[in-house]
Structure 1
Amino acid sequence: MDLLRSDPAAGRVHGGPDRHGPAAWDFSTCANAAGPCPAAVAALQRVDPTRYPDPGYHALRERLAAWHRVEPARVVLAASASEFIQRITAVGARLSPGAVALPAHAFGDYAAAARAAGRAVTVGADPAATLRWIGEPSSPLGQDAPPPRDLSRVPTVLDSVYAPLRLGGASRWSTPDRHAAFVLHGPNKALGLCGLRGAYALAPEPEAVDWDVSAWTDALAAAEPSWPLGAHAVAMIETWTEPATQRWLAGARLTLGGWLTELRAMLEDLGFEILPSAANFLCVRPPPGAPDAAALRRHGVAVRDTTSFGLPGHWRLSAQPSAAVAALRAALRG
């Protein structure tokens, strides 16, 4: 029996670098390719890594609460969005046992966390589910789903990691809807800093739901590891709340919109079927005879095959600069 595994996440598929390292032209992640954010980089350079952060993160919690206009008790910090997914799924298995409902096409960590907690996985609006995941916009499609009609009845997580990278349309979730769900935030993608981990969620308003929010936040706090955020993650999240950072992000979205338009035009010209998306990424169906993702990788181009999302025969590609689009075109033409 093997006691050690060389690849502990062998059953999971992600974009970004693989065993061969980073691709020269990487369309496979949904990070902000117009980044990194200069203010965030400067803040990271000022960090003193010789000291622990405050283990209670009091200043950070108050800062986030003020920025989002919620009570500090509603702020749940996490080592990453993936860590929060694992933690709330495990906590929910104790507080509200039952199945976990996912979108038809969804980030694989939702299902992985459910399996790790011994929970069944169901798709869509299953009334028997006791925890629900909804993306805003979702990955891989970059599309929105409306809030469930019975939002107050079942603990629901609105994964808003890609919301800051929305390039079109408006959210289908109102402010009262958001107050009835856990809303998950992960600034690293929008800041172009995927290698830096750190996230947070806003718990529901207790009066907005029919279940005991404090029992969930207490259990999430009890299951939280000590110092889930390192000093660099604290600096990243602090910078996220600054007006200058949000102004930079607004400009970056304009840049990404232009790049995505260029990418869409090139793919349409080569016969790809393009699915609608509101985000800085989109899904496509390659035409017959197109190289597969592995062949493109040998040309230094990485795209995200979406089979693991339950969408075989498609790729997800993110907005990238013109030079990357030209490299992708050349690789597609062989």
Structure 2
Amino acid sequence: MMVADAALTSRTHGGPDHLGVPLHDFSSNSNACGPCPAAWTAVQHADASQYPDASYTVLRAQLAEFHKVDPQRVLLAGSASEFIFRITALAAQRGASGVWLPSHSYGDYAQAAQGFKLPLVGRPEQAQLRWACDPSSPLGAAHASLDQLPDPKAFCVLDRAYEPLRLGGAPGVSQEVLQKFWQLWTPNKALGLTGVRAAYVIAPADSDENISQLERLAPSWVVGAHGVAMLHAWTTPAVQAWLSDSLPTLREWKASQIALCESFGWTVLPSEANFFVCHGKQIPGVAADLRQRGIKLRDCASFGLPSHFRLSVQTPAAQQALHNALQDIFGKSA
């Protein structure tokens, strides 16, 4: 009998775990104002009895119009993670000898490199596949020196998962340089629909051969009916208006949540997004106690930040539950 590789059965992510769905989930960066009503309605009414158009012709045209690019530059992906593995496969096919990651970054970048036996390198100029995320994960900070990252001899991917949830600052790259990146978009976080797996990519201009090969590497119907419905809804004025209206609320909730964390002696690191990272000598032990009370934080050890925890901005009710739980824990340990 074969025993499953532990690395394949114990991936570290936010959201539900072996204890089920947390009552108050600070571990996942979904928009706490969601789900977006119009997008959720579109997903609920998706026709799952039919295949989507295998070429996604209408959807690609709609996304291209939304981003003001040629439809040929739009690729569909099953999720951000699916595309991470697919473009890593392409880099390996093209003879890449190294992958560069930010100091702290989403674990699937490194997981994909490991899967294709590509070594991680210390400097961008040593890599033929280069990753960036702005605002970054887990810190939610601006990515420094983005303008210097693109190179015509390398695949340079900018993960824009949290751009729609930017609560401060500005993108760290000019529009001119942005067109040199493979831009990876995952609207499900911004819409509060992380269970709907669908993403898309805006390819750099003049990438026809690489686009064609990435299409060959994709399975048929890489996005199902529910993902198609969500991406169609994403570009509509009603959904974009809802998203825009949610940002001031998130800023208000973020300020109160930071104050809550600091009131218990935790140090909060700077962030421009709808999440932030804390550290303090009490947090590691407290996190396990909180999980037993239905409150989950995101351990940042897998991001290369041991003894740090990431918290997404949550509703006042969730924040009150966190406050009460911490008071109870610290009161008992005093």
Count of paired positions: 326
Counterpart Cα distance in 2 of 1:300 and 1:148 = 42
> How far has the Cα of 1:116 moved from its partner?
0.5
Specify the alignment match of 1:67 in structure 2.
66
> How far has the Cα of 1:148 moved from its partner?
4.4
Q: Higher mean Cα deviation, 234-243 or 324-333?
A: 324-333
Counterpart Cα distance in 2 of 1:152 and 1:21 = 44
Specify the alignment match of 2:141 in structure 1.
143
> How far has the Cα of 1:249 moved from its partner?
0.2
Q: Which amino acid in the other structure matches residue 268 of structure 2? A: I
Matched, 1:295 2:289: yes
Contact 1:77 1:201 in 2 (8 A): yes
Identity rate, percent: 45
Counterpart Cα distance in 2 of 1:289 and 1:263 = 15
Contact 2:34 2:192 in 1 (8 A): yes
Counterpart Cα distance in 2 of 1:264 and 1:47 = 38
Q: Which amino acid in the other structure matches residue 71 of structure 1? A: D
Contact 2:283 2:308 in 1 (8 A): no
SS in 1 for 2:177: helix
Counterpart Cα distance in 1 of 2:187 and 2:283 = 38
Specify the alignment match of 2:9 in structure 1.
10
Alignment of 1:42-57 (within 5 A): 42-57=41-56
> How far has the Cα of 1:76 moved from its partner?
1.0
Specify the alignment match of 1:247 in structure 2.
241
The structure 1 residue matched to 2:326, chosen from 323, 326, 332, is: 332
Q: Higher mean Cα deviation, 303-312 or 39-48?
A: 39-48
Cα deviation digits, residues 120-141 of structure 1 (max 9, x gap): 1134x33111110000111100
Counterpart Cα distance in 2 of 1:319 and 1:91 = 36
SS in 1 for 2:180: coil
> How far has the Cα of 1:287 moved from its partner?
4.0
Contact 1:273 1:287 in 2 (8 A): no
Instruction: Return the TM-score normalized by structure 1.
Output: 0.94
SS in 1 for 2:82: helix
Contact 2:27 2:311 in 1 (8 A): yes
Could you say if the C-alpha distance between residues 290 and 70 of structure 1 is closer, same or farther in structure 2, counting changes exceeding 3 Å? closer
SS in 1 for 2:302: helix
> How far has the Cα of 1:45 moved from its partner?
2.5
Counterpart Cα distance in 1 of 2:124 and 2:67 = 31
Specify the alignment match of 2:96 in structure 1.
97
Alignment of 1:1-334 (within 5 A): 2=2, 4=4, 9-123=8-122, 125-145=123-143, 146-149=145-148, 151-153=150-152, 154-206=154-206, 213-288=207-282, 291-333=285-327, 334=329
Counterpart Cα distance in 1 of 2:283 and 2:216 = 53
Counterpart Cα distance in 1 of 2:137 and 2:313 = 14
Q: Which amino acid in the other structure matches residue 283 of structure 1? A: V
Contact 1:95 1:216 in 2 (8 A): no
Counterpart Cα distance in 2 of 1:64 and 1:265 = 39
Specify the alignment match of 2:332 in structure 1.
none
Cα deviation digits, residues 2-50 of structure 1 (max 9, x gap): 2556x77335210100011011111000000110000011112222111
> How far has the Cα of 1:97 moved from its partner?
1.4
RMSD: 1.5
Contact 1:186 1:198 in 2 (8 A): yes
